[in-house]
């Protein structure tokens, strides 16, 4: 799945990458960079391919289909990236985009809005793919931790379509760590997302 990675994605788990603001000068140019700059928990910004989806199983004599909860976590994380990339790549993308907001917790939504607002205030948007390859999922009750290898190939552009990224082209695969929580409605929501600082292999 594709998402964004060179910019550290918002997140804030206990790690050397604690949340903190950053100036535009800190941006590396990509969507991931921007997030990393704002949320020094480098996220956006990965190792071998993602886990393969297990085929749903149906109990004999029953119409109930059992879905692997780990696959649900992976799907939720990939959807978060897809929506985040959609909003930041749209010059008119809204910081409070409702679809993007539905993929994250209320707390993390605030960080997402800051990231998008930062781009809009500078009249910038991102363009390019973010390769997202989930590698490991651990679930403890209503909490899940996901490790992924992401590569952010996106750059930042101004309203005239000029590429403002100092480092253009394909990004470096970086390991990302995300925390998700299960909502009362049974939906996994991204609550933290950041880069660990380690490179990985796609």
3-class DSSP string for the chain: CECCCCCCCCCCCCCCCCCECCCHHHCCCCHHHHHHHHECCCCCCCCCCCCCCCCCEECCCCCCEECCHHHHHHHHHHHHHHHHHHHHCCCCCCCCCHHHHCCECHHHHHHHHHHHHHHHHCCEEEECCEEEEEEEEEEECCEEEEEEEEEECCEEEECCCCECCCCCCCCCCEEEEEEEEECCCCCEEEEEEEEEEEECCC
pLDDT band at 52 (very low <50, low <70, confident <90, very high): very low
From 138, 152, 92, 81, select the one nearest 116 (Cα to Cα): 92
Tens of pLDDT, residue by residue over 124-152, are 999 999 999 999 999 999 999 999 999 99
Tens of pLDDT, residue by residue over 89-122, are 999 999 999 999 999 999 999 999 999 999 999 9
**Mean pLDDT over residues 64-86, rounded?**
94
The overall average pLDDT reported for the chain is 78
Q: Where are the domains of the chain?
A: 24-52+67-199
Q: To the nearest whole percent, how much of the chain has pLDDT over 90?
A: 63
Pick the CATH number of 24-52+67-199 from 3.30.70.1450, 3.10.450.50, 1.10.8.10, 3.40.50.700: 3.10.450.50
Task: Pick the more confident residue, 112 or 45.
Answer: 112
């Amino acid at each position: 799945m594709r998402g964004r990675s060179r910019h550290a994605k918002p997140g804030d788990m206990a790690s050397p990458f604690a949340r903190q603001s950053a100036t535009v000068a800190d941006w590396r140019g990509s969507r991931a960079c921007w997030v990393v700059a704002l949320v020094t928990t480098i996220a956006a910004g990965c190792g071998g391919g993602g886990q393969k989806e297990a085929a749903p199983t149906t109990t004999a004599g029953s119409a109930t289909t059992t879905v692997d909860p780990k696959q649900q976590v992976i799907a939720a994380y990939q959807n978060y990236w897809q929506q985040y990339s959609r909003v930041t790549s749209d010059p008119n993308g809204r910081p409070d985009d409702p679809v993007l907001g539905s993929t994250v917790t209320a707390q993390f939504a605030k960080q997402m809005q800051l990231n998008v607002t930062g781009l809009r205030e500078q009249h910038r948007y991102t363009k390019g793919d973010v390769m997202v390859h989930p590698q490991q999922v651990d679930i403890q009750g209503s909490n899940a931790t996901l490790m992924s290898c992401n590569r952010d190939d996106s750059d930042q552009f101004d309203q005239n379509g000029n590429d403002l990224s100092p480092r253009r082209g394909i990004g470096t695969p970086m390991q990302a760590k995300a925390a998700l929580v299960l909502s009362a409605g049974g939906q996994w929501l991204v609550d933290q997302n950041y880069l660990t600082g380690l490179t990985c292999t796609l």
